Amino acid sequence: MIQRTATRIEARPIDHDTRSWQQLLSASVTSPEVLLERLQLDPATWLSGAREGDRLFQLRVPEPYLQRIVPGDPADPLLRQILPLSAEADKRPGFVRDPLQESGAIPIAGLIRKYQSRALLMVTGQCAINCRYCFRRHFPYDENRLSPRDRADVLSSLTDDTRINEVIFSGGDPLVASDRLLSSWAESLADIPHIRRLRIHTRLPVVIPQRVCGSLLEWLSSSRLQMVMVLHVNHPAELDNHTRHALGRLKAAGVTLLNQSVLLRGVNDTADVLADLSERLFDCGVLPYYLHAFDPVEGAHHFDVSDDRARELVRQLIGTLPGFLVPKLVREVPDKPGKTPLDLFA
């Protein structure tokens, strides 16, 4: 039996920050010293490691996310996702810089074509939060971002391939880009008759709920394309009431909301946390979609969860949750036609 833990969601009510999302984004904490001070963590223990990790992959955390971290607790599951550590400098056999081998699937800078019916556009290389376990932490973004110069090429390649019925905005985090840019892309894509859906892979409505502003809702709800948003939440404490409100607005605008998580040691590698996450997502109008088995990315081996443990966790979820709240346990295997499910009963 899974013991349900009460999540901390209502425990610490916080006034809604009235700054715009752009202001919040640019006020993000990027200094290890500031982070440790804000979260009451002892610099003697944490500062040198935080600086070392930060040099490899910059610390970045926006204020609304920071407010959900419990001060003084080095094991906080939200803190673990953003705190740089000296362990990131360790090299381990099998942990590589491009575990998904994406650099081979890029016909035009910014366009990734791995799967037949979907094309992925890297709208921006920037993220609102830098997640330490990110499989793209070493990705050469500067070479692989969509440039306005390539826009015509991308659109004609999408027009020519009638198998493509869905375009995915990815990144980085595509919602870091302005609504002006995004809506003009959405308009051009809507002019291509075989494209039915626009999918947006983003963490922004979770980490800065203010991103769900009037101008975003306006272009999302006015397009011919069906809109799907795949969020990225790993722990139920990431979903506070402000996030729930923002997600409610997206849903009311007709956007289908799904979630993908990464299975991470010390963050969500217990059945009760995962069950709580699914329940809380559903409370927010979001269905669990994927649970990604950890990708062996260099610098993140301390998050690794074994495949056997991953399978066991999902089998436990099947025993307690309705089927629609059990995410699919998958891994991206290079050269496969889609994400590969892990065999739960192997």
Ligand X SMILES: *Cc1c(COP(=O)(O)O)cnc(C)c1O
Binding site for ligand X (CB under 6 A): 112, 114-115, 118, 120, 168, 332, 338-339
238 binds ligand SF4 (CB under 6 A): no
Contact 237, 81 (CB under 8 A): no
Residue 134's binding partner, choosing from ligand SF4, ligand X, none, with beta-carbon cut-off 5 to 8 A by kind? ligand SF4
What is the DSSP annotation of 84-141? --GGGG---TT-BS-TT-GGGS-SBTTEE--SSSEEEEE--S--SS--TT-TTTT--H
Distance, CA of 108 to CA of 100 (rounded, Å): 18
> Which contacts (CB < 8 Å, 24+ apart) does range 185-191 have?
185/121, 185/123, 186/219, 186/223, 186/225, 187/223, 188/151, 188/155, 189/155, 189/158, 189/225, 190/223, 190/224, 190/225
Q: How far is the CB of 168 from ligand X (least distance, A)?
A: 5
| H helix or E strand, kind and range, residue 167 | strand 166-170
Q: How far is the CB of 269 from ligand X (least distance, A)?
A: 22
Select from 61, 123, 129, 310 the one that contacts ligand SF4 (CB under 6 A). 129
Q: Three-state DSSP class for 12? A: coil
120 binds ligand SF4 (CB under 6 A): no
Cβ closest to ligand X, residue 50 vs residue 231: 231
Q: How far is the CB of 258 from ligand X (least distance, A)?
A: 9
208 binds ligand SF4 (CB under 6 A): no
Select from 68, 80, 114, 136 the one that contacts ligand SF4 (CB under 6 A). 136
Q: How far is the CB of 4 from ligand SF4 (least distance, A)?
A: 27
295 binds ligand SF4 (CB under 6 A): no
Q: How far is the CB of 14 from ligand X (least distance, A)?
A: 33
Cβ closest to ligand X, residue 179 vs residue 332: 332
- 287 — phi, psi (to 5°)? -100, 140
The binding site for ligand SF4 (CB under 6 A) comprises 127, 129-131, 134, 136, 171-173, 203, 232
